[in-house]
Structure 1
Amino acid sequence: MASTNNNSEASDSASDIDLHMSCTCGFCTPKPTLRESICCTEITRIDEKRTSYQKELPCITEHPGFQSVCLDIYVLETAYYQYRSQYGELQKTIEQRNRYTAYRQLVRWCWGYLGKSVRVPLPSCAVTKIHHSFSSEEYQGFRDPE
């Protein structure tokens, strides 16, 4: 999905987000915008990954691959080295770098390569799990490139 800049998202009210939040996995939390307040079962590529596992899983964060691909610090370190060789050093804390790399890993795992400046919203459940694993006070949520 190509990125779009929709100013109406910035004015989403908490009640609108709560009404839209149709979580069926049981792990989502409302996010600052409607675009971010989406369940893993609502995103086709992520839902396909969730349902491809041999047993029924309520949430993508329960998939064993999610732990390995998105939360394992050694995998994230290796993925970051690849990122750094292509794009340069990220001037961020370890937590911020791991969180950023984990989001990229989730996209790579579910979509493959998207291309430069192509963004997709990630499910609330996955963002919450990654954020709790690599928390920092500077978290700003999903941002489209300007």
Structure 2
Amino acid sequence: MEFKHVDDKMEFRVSPYQFEPTRSTRGDTDDSGTDSSESSSDDDAELRPVEEWCSCGHCENMPTDRENVCCKQFPLCMEKMEPNTLKCVTHHEAFRVNCLNTDVLELAFYDYLDIHGHIGDEEPVHELYRHIGYRRFVRWIWHRLGKRNRKVLPSCVVNSIRQAFPSQEYCGFKHTRDY
């Protein structure tokens, strides 16, 4: 959470995951079996073509290779798709309702305010809805991750939410910092 003085007004910015509890130390792994706290040194390497890593047909290249993951690389996403035999998790009705529907996101935003307090009126609504859309996807797939436990979201999911709630700039995936 950031507060800045701008023209004698206090400005507030949402910081993702700021109030999440810390993860346990039992060696949590992501769905692919790798430690979610590992850092990858291949971020500066040349990006692989989408055809090499996307199986759903709806992914786009992301800024770093670490972010180039498809929904079909996550067993928990596959579980959501199998009963309906969907090509992509973004085609699931629950995804559209919970992560893209502005009425649902507005209600989730009010829950967010109840827990975290009022934010300034200057916060762009698209940024808030995008942030809440990501949080709702994580809740739907992984239920609860906890503070400092991050998952790279599938490219198709990130891009679908970004298309619904566009911005001039995006921050992308970031590992947690030890404070």
Structure 1 residues 109-138: Cα deviation after superposition (integer angstroms, max 9, x where no partner): 111111122111110011111001100012
| Alpha-carbon contact 1:71-1:133 (below 8 Å) kept | yes
Any idea what SS the aligned residue of 1:52 has? helix
CA distance in 1, matches of 2:117, 2:86: 37
Structure 1 residues 52-85: Cα deviation after superposition (integer angstroms, max 9, x where no partner): 33xx110001111111010001111111222222
1:84 aligns with 2:122: no
Question: Larger % of strand: which?
Answer: 2
Pair 85,12 (structure 1): closer, same or farther in 2 beyond 3 Å: farther
- With normalisation by structure 1, the TM-score equals 0.86
The 5 A counterparts of 1:24-103 are: 24-53=55-84, 56-90=85-119, 92-103=123-134
Which blocks of at least 5 consecutive residues in structure 2 are unaligned? Answer: 1-29
Equivalent residue number for residue 144 of structure 1: 175
Question: Larger % of helix: which?
Answer: 1
Query: Could you tell me which amino acid in structure 2 is paired with residue 128 of structure 1?
Result: N
Deviates more, 1:77-86 or 1:121-130: 77-86
| Alpha-carbon contact 1:38-1:124 (below 8 Å) kept | yes
| Alpha-carbon contact 2:39-2:175 (below 8 Å) kept | no
CA distance in 2, matches of 1:20, 1:117: 31
Structure with greater Cα Rg? 2
- With normalisation by structure 2, the TM-score equals 0.72
- Runs of 4 or more, structure 1, over 4 Å off, are none
The alignment of Structure 1 onto Structure 2 pairs a total of residues equal to: 142
